Structure 1
Amino acid sequence: MNAISWNCIGLGNPRTVRALWDMVKSHKPNILFLMETLSYKERIKHLCGKMGFDNHWTVECVGRSGGIALFWKSNVKCIVCNQGINFIDVQITNVNEVKWRLTGFYGFPERARKREVWGLLKMLAGVSDLPWVVVGDFNDMVNISDKKGNYAHPQSFLDGFKRTIEECGLIELEWREKYFHAYATSRKKQNQVGYLKDESGAMINKHEEMCELVKGYFSRIFGGTERLEMNSLDEQEAVITEEHNRDLIAEFKIEEFSEAIKQMHPDKSAGPDGLNPAFYQHFWGLCGKDVFQCCKNWLVDLAFPLGLNDTNVVLIPKKDNTDEMKDLRPIALCNVLYKVISKVLANRLKEILPVAQAIPSYAMSCFLLPKSLCIDLERMMNSYFWGSQEDIKKGIRWTSWTNMSMSKEQGGLAFHDLHGLWQAKESQKQGYRWVVGDGRSINLGADKWLRGKEGHRVDEQCLSLVRNLKVCDLFVSGTKEWDVTKVHNLFSSSDARFILAIPIPNNQFQDRIVWNYSLDGKYSAKSGYRFWQQHYSQCK
Structure 2
Amino acid sequence: MNSLRGQMDPICLGRFRQLNGQLSTVLLQEESFWKQRAKQHWLQGADRNTKFFHQYATHRKRKNSIVRLKDRNGVWKEGDGLVSLVTDYYKQIFQTNGDIGAFQVDTLSPRVTRAQNDDLLRPFEPAEVKHALFAMGKDKSPGPDGMNPGFYQSFWDLIGKDFTDFVLACLSQSSFPPELNDANIVLISEKAAPELVADLRPIALCNVVYKVMAKMIANRMKPLLDDIVSESQSAFLPGRLILDNILIASEETMEVKHCLEIYEQFSGQSVNFHKSNISFNRNTTLLDRDAIAMGLGVEQAEDFGKYLGLPSVVGRNRKFVFSYVEQKLRQRFGSWNKRLLSMAGKEVLLKSVAQAMPTYTMSIFLLPVSLCASLERLMNMYWWGKSTTVDGIHWMAWDRMCVPKKHGGMGFKRLHEFNLALLEKQRWRLLTNPESLMARIFKARYYRDTTFYEASLGGNPSYVWRSIMTSQSLIRSGCRRRIGNGRTTKVWEHPWLPDSQNPFVLTDQVTQLPDLMVADL
TM-score scaled by structure 1? 0.36
Greater RCO (Cα-Cα under 8 Å, separation 6 or more): 2
TM-score scaled by structure 2? 0.38
Structure number with higher helix proportion: 2
- Pair member with larger Rg: 1
